[in-house]
Amino acid sequence: MADVFLKGGTVIDERGLISQNRGILLKKGRIHSIGIDEKEIKSDTEVFDCSSLFITPGIPNLHTHSPMNIFKGIAEDVDEQSWFNEEIWPYESKMEPGDVYAGSSLAIAEMINRGVTAFADHYFHADQVCRAAIDGGIRLDMAPTLFGMAGRFDEQLEASTELMDSLSETSDLLAFHYGPHAPYTCSPDELAGTAEAAEKTGRGIHIHVADAKAQIEASREKYGRTPFQILKDSGVLDQPLIVGHGLWILEEEIPLIGKDTYFAVCPKTYMKLSAGTGRLWQFADRLPLAIGTDGAASSNSLDPLEQLKFFLLLGKLTMGDSTKFTLEEGWTILMKGHKAMPFRSGRIKEGYSADLIFWDLDRINTAPVYNPLASIIYSSGPENIVHSMVGGRFVKKNGEVQMDLKAIRREAGDRAKAILQRGKGRTKLIF
């Protein structure tokens, strides 16, 4: 890989602080030096003129189900229980590995177009998601889904460990978490077994928690404990943890949260499925919040910036204070997602991965630029992201995603037709 020198432009760091680029040299996919003069670089270094652009770290998506792009729009205007029990889970029960690869490829192309450079996924047929990520050149933290309701949990857990072991050395684009689905689909003993496996292997856990209000009372009735209390007692909260949602966390549960826990907030899903506003906004300053998109079957788009925009605006609305949930706070929340994944990304600092976005904000939807963060968070679209790189390699260049989009769309369309022809199957899962 050739060295790259980023000349000129304006840098926005992970805290939202703005500075003029004094020259950034990229070597072997990492940020090698900052503040270097062009005269100091070697003659064979590729010089990339950023003089009219803003440079930021890449965008993380801390919770999604990328294969579900194949189900985008298949279950609309239904209640939450019907969405799971009558639509999505029955269709998923007949999914084939090729469907997962096609859906993931479609999702990855969309995410790259929207500036995502790393995402945390939670799904089955995880090998297909990993293959799609490698093909697309994007970073993936994969959590193969484990369902207690499906039976033979120990066998699932062992197979998950074997899969992660076999794939972990195949690409530096891949990392892994264990993926028990939720406290209501996995028993406390199954969660404890997962925590033991995570402790033994040094991998974290990625799990859905308290995404519906009814889950709290149901947990108390069945186990005499709340969802987060179960996670604490089972040892899950003692591991590095990605919490999908946590929407209805109780104040009494907040002290249980470990130092390596991150909440992936997906407000578009909560609005669409009328899940309520929960307590995330109420306790926002006490929780380690980051941003996810959930799957496209519920969110319809994999756009962390859109989710962040909704999060900030809903915060102002629900808390009745327009001075809260500021742009800088929002940007910090967005970038925090990088810390939950082991890629050493998310900062424009020497030694960090060269996972960067190059923004043109001098466009009709973002001009004039008084506040670059306002332009990016509230006004921008994929057209403003002219280049994006992962590990120093361009995954989007001159506005074009570096994937065969025509072939991806064709395959996804063919697979969608086959899904409808097969119809819904039977499932042991109940929401």
Q: Which residues pair with 389 in a beta bridge?
A: 356, 394
- Residue 431 pLDDT exceeds 70: no
Measured CA to CA, the distance from residue 215 to residue 244 in angstroms comes to: 14
Measured CA to CA, the distance from residue 294 to residue 115 in angstroms comes to: 16
Please tell me the total number of residues recorded for the chain in this structure: 431
Q: Which amino acid is at 90?
A: P
pLDDT in tens, 132-176: 999 999 999 999 999 998 789 999 999 999 999 999 989 999 999
Q: What CA–CA distances, in Å, run from 30 to 16, 64, 243, 343, 346?
A: 21, 26, 29, 11, 12
Q: Which domains does the chain have, with CATH numbers?
A: 4-57+347-400 (2.30.40.10), 59-339 (3.20.20.140)
State the pLDDT confidence band at 341, using cuts at 50, 70 and 90. Answer: very high
Residue 123 structure tokens:
């799904």
Q: What are phi and psi of 190, to 5 degrees?
A: -65, -40
Measured CA to CA, the distance from residue 139 to residue 174 in angstroms comes to: 6
pLDDT at residue 149 in the model: 81
- Residue 187 pLDDT exceeds 60: yes
State the pLDDT confidence band at 425, using cuts at 50, 70 and 90. Answer: confident
Average pLDDT over residues 185-199: 97
pLDDT at residue 2 in the model: 86
In this structure, is the dihedral angle defined by the CA atoms of residues 162, 163, 167 and 172, taken in order, positive or negative?
negative
SS3 33: strand
pLDDT at residue 416 in the model: 96
- The angle, 0 to 180 degrees and rounded to 10, between the axes of the packed helices 327-336 and 304-319 is 130
Instruction: Give residues with Cβ within 8 angstroms of 17, minimum separation 6.
Output: none
- Residue 43 pLDDT exceeds 90: no
pLDDT in tens, 197-212: 999 999 999 999 999 9
Whole-prediction pTM: 0.97
pLDDT at residue 428 in the model: 61
Measured CA to CA, the distance from residue 388 to residue 122 in angstroms comes to: 24
Do 352 and 11 touch, CB atoms closer than 8 A?
no
pLDDT at residue 1 in the model: 82
Measured CA to CA, the distance from residue 116 to residue 60 in angstroms comes to: 6
Taking residue 232's Cβ as centre, other Cβ atoms within 10 Å add up to 18
Interior angle at CA 415, CA 70 and CA 401, nearest 5:
60
Query: Which range among 20-24, 303-307, 336-340, 396-400 shows the weakest confidence by mean pLDDT?
Result: 20-24
Taking residue 37's Cβ as centre, other Cβ atoms within 10 Å add up to 9
Measured CA to CA, the distance from residue 162 to residue 165 in angstroms comes to: 5
pLDDT in tens, 81-104: 888 889 998 999 899 999 999 999
Residue 366 structure tokens:
């973002």
